[in-house]
């Protein structure tokens, strides 16, 4: 209708000044009226002031199909911001009050459409108030004729004689009536009620499925999914079920009115039954007699695994008069190990089941029982140097039954009085000395087992002890040294000498410790001179063996803190050595040889001073790393 009014206004004539005023001529009284706008032409973003009366909150402005809020300053003044509009020659402005009544129509043109403004020579009183035009002189004019009726905005379904809007647009009533058969009975559009009912019977159609009692169905092929004798959505079923055999149905369950026959498993190697926690399934292909305890049966397989397994034996220390064996872990029903030692030949003796034995029992020529208990380490002492010993071990249970297959240790030949070997932290060391049957590693019974007793004169011993082992560069040696009293010359750590070059009275060399009596063509060492009395000064020195030359020396209080462990770290690379004392991160000796060390023999050694020194130096917590 608004378009009709705009068109009619163009055909009318009228003239006004550059400000448009409007007063509706309707005989009806309205609470809000719009009189004028502050401008006739506006660009997007321009503020357009509005004058009138009865203004209140909630008023709207409709411009080119857009609905804007009118910003009310007072009952007679308001404004709005010009939006972006289409470039039509005339953009009418409709004002709607808070009760959805039309408060007025006014002319307003977009600045982009000025060139399209119509030119008319007419009386403004004959032109609608929402039409802007130019007179023949080029002046912009606006009509002042009221062309609108005071229609309300449509606000309910089926309203007539009202202004259609976005919420209640116009509709073709004849079209709605034609479509009423497709509308649900609960719907009404433009006063026309729907005719489409809910589905309420199986197989019905021409209705709406709303659920939950009714649902849509695909009838094509549905018969094959419906049991014979049943009908769904008007489709008669043809499916005949294939029920499982009674032998595949659990006992106590019923399928198609038939009781099941499949029972629970209740015995070893039971079949055609249902497994349970008490009788679980098992993969027989992965089962072997060797992993089943002897005398036991699993899945009809008789076990052959002995319930007594002989312990392993391994030599961990060896002196000229003693052997230390590591006894392997106990297994199964074992309560202890029986071990027999045989001299010069392997033992031919075996224990008798049901018989108990005691340590010290001689069971044959040169054959003695040395252990009948639960143990993991056997120290067999008072042996004969340079003789061969054999060990044989069985496991036994609480009833004195013995394992069927004993473990045999390899033949162990003890060294004479010159050399011995032993394991220290899984590393093999060799000890060289003159005449004693006492090794330098470990020390006496009152010293920790990983301690070197650095001494040259034990009771009954005329020479020093020297533990050695093979190495490759780079190497790192760490240990703690402890002095019982300030009454010994010192000890050394050396690398690069051969084992045969260590004699009974073989010091590292120089100073109060004495000069080497057998200089080596290769090798180097660090001398720890710990004695500080009688004019001597405690120091550390780096010595070259070929000529006993001191390459670097420093006076340090090695004798301080008697009976206290002092930490030492030595790092040797291809041509450099660093010595760290007392846990310091700064080296006391940091020496670069300028070229690689002269080394042909790959032994390192801990050694004491000259023969006849006091028994008052110990090395402990020793670690040694080398490729």
Q: Which one of 466-475, 521-530, 604-613 scores highest in mean pLDDT? A: 521-530
> Where residue 32 falls among pLDDT bands split at 50, 70, 90?
confident
The pLDDT of residue 499 is: 54
Which stretch of 73-77, 374-378, 444-448, 465-469 has the lowest confidence by average pLDDT?
444-448
Distance, CA of 600 to CA of 555 (rounded, Å): 31
Helix (H, G, I), strand (E, B) or coil at 315: strand
The pLDDT of residue 394 is: 95
Q: How far apart are the first and last CA of the chain?
A: 102
Contact 198, 214 (CB under 8 A): yes
Taking all residues of the chain, what is their mean pLDDT, rounded to a whole number?
77
Distance, CA of 52 to CA of 102 (rounded, Å): 13
Whether residue 518 is predicted with pLDDT greater than 70 in this model: the reply is no
- This prediction has a pTM of 0.36
Nearest residue to 16 (alpha-carbon basis) of 128, 139, 141: 141
Distance, CA of 373 to CA of 359 (rounded, Å): 9
The pLDDT of residue 201 is: 83
Mean pLDDT calculated for residue range 331-338: 89
Buried b (16+ CB within 10 A) or exposed e, 224-245: eebeeeeebbebebeeeeeeee
Whether residue 455 is predicted with pLDDT greater than 60 in this model: the reply is no
Contact 439, 417 (CB under 8 A): no
> Where residue 178 falls among pLDDT bands split at 50, 70, 90?
confident
> Whats the size of the chain, residue-wise?
627
Mean pLDDT calculated for residue range 516-523: 64
Helix spans in 74-124 (H):
none
Contact 339, 393 (CB under 8 A): yes
Nearest residue to 548 (alpha-carbon basis) of 515, 581, 582: 515
The pLDDT of residue 506 is: 45
Dump the DSSP string for 233-271. TTEEP-B---PPPGGGSBBT-EETTEEB-BPBP-STT--
> Where residue 291 falls among pLDDT bands split at 50, 70, 90?
confident
Distance, CA of 131 to CA of 92 (rounded, Å): 7
Which stretch of 71-75, 83-87, 193-197, 604-608 has the lowest confidence by average pLDDT?
604-608
β-bridge pairing 603-608 and 490-495: antiparallel
Nearest residue to 445 (alpha-carbon basis) of 373, 377, 378, 379: 379
What structural domains does the chain harbor? 2-142 (2.60.40.10), 313-413 (2.60.40.10), 424-625 (2.60.120.200)
Q: Which one of 117-131, 198-212, 499-513 scores highest in mean pLDDT? A: 198-212
Helix spans in 307-396 (H):
none
> Where residue 363 falls among pLDDT bands split at 50, 70, 90?
very high
Write the pLDDT tens digit of every residue in 573-611: 999 999 999 999 999 999 999 999 988 777 787 765 544
């Amino acid at each position: 209708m608004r378009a009709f009014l705009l068109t009619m206004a163009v055909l009318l004539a009228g003239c006004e000044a550059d400000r448009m005023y409007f007063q509706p001529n309707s005989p009806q009284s309205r609470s809000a009226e719009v009189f004028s706008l502050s401008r006739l032409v506006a660009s997007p973003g321009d503020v357009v002031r509005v004058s009138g009366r009865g203004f209140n909150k909630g008023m709207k402005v409709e411009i080119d199909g857009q609905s804007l809020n009118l910003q009310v300053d007072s009952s007679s003044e308001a404004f709005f911001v010009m939006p972006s509009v289409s470039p039509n020659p005339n953009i009418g402005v409709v004002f709607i009050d808070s009760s959805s009544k039309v408060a007025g129509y006014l002319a307003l043109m977009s600045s982009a459409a000025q060139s399209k403004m119509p030119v008319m020579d007419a009386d403004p009183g004959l032109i609608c108030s929402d039409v802007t035009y130019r007179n023949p002189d080029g002046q912009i004019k606006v009509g002042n004729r009221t062309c609108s009726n005071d229609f309300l905005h449509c606000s309910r379904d089926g309203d007539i004689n009202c202004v259609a809007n976005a919420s209640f647009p116009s509709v073709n009533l004849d079209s709605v009536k034609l479509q009423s058969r497709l509308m649900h009975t609960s719907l009404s559009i433009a006063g026309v009620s729907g005719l489409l009912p809910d589905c309420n019977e199986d197989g019905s159609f021409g209705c709406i499925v709303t659920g939950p009692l009714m649902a849509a169905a695909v009838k094509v092929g549905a018969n094959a999914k419906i049991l014979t004798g049943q009908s769904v959505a008007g489709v008669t079923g043809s499916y005949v079920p294939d029920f499982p055999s009674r032998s595949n149905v659990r006992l106590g369950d019923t399928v198609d009115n038939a009781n099941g026959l499949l029972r629970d498993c209740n015995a070893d190697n039971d079949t055609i039954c249902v497994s349970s926690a008490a009788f679980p399934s098992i993969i027989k292909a992965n089962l072997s007699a060797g992993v089943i305890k002897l005398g036991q049966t699993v899945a009809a397989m008789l076990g052959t695994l002995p319930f007594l397994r002989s312990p392993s034996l391994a030599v961990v220390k060896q002196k000229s008069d003693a052997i230390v064996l590591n006894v392997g872990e106990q297994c199964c029903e074992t309560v202890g190990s029986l071990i027999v030692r045989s001299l010069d030949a392997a033992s031919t003796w075996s224990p008798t089941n049901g018989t108990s034995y005691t340590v010290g029992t001689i069971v044959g020529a040169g054959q003695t029982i040395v252990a009948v208990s639960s143990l993991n380490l056997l120290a067999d002492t008072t042996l004969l140097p340079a003789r061969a010993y054999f060990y044989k071990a069985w496991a036994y249970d609480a009833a004195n039954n013995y394992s069927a297959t004993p473990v045999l240790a390899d033949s162990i030949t003890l060294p004479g009085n010159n050399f011995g070997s032993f394991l220290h932290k899984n590393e093999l060391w060799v000890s060289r000395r003159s005449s004693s049957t006492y090794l330098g590693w470990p020390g006496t019974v009152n010293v920790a087992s990983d301690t070197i007793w650095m001494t040259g004169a034990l009771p009954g011993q005329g020479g020093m002890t020297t533990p050695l082992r093979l190495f490759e560069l780079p190497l790192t040696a760490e240990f703690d040294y402890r002095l019982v009293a300030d009454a010994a010359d010192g000890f050394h750590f050396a690398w690069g000498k051969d084992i045969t070059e260590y004699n009974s009275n073989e010091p590292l060399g120089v100073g109060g410790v004495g000069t080497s009596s057998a200089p080596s063509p290769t090798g180097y060492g660090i001398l720890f001179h710990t004695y500080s009395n009688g004019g001597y000064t405690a120091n550390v020195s780096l010595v070259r063996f070929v000529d006993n030359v001191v390459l670097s020396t420093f006076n340090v209080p090695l004798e301080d803190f008697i009976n206290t462990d002092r930490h030492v770290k030595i790092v040797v690379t291809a041509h450099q050595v660093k010595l760290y004392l007392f846990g310091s991160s700064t080296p006391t000796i940091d020496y670069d040889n300028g070229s690689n060390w002269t080394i042909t023999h790959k032994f390192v050694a801990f050694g004491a001073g000259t023969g006849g020194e006091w028994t008052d130096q110990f090395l402990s917590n020793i670690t040694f790393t080398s490729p």
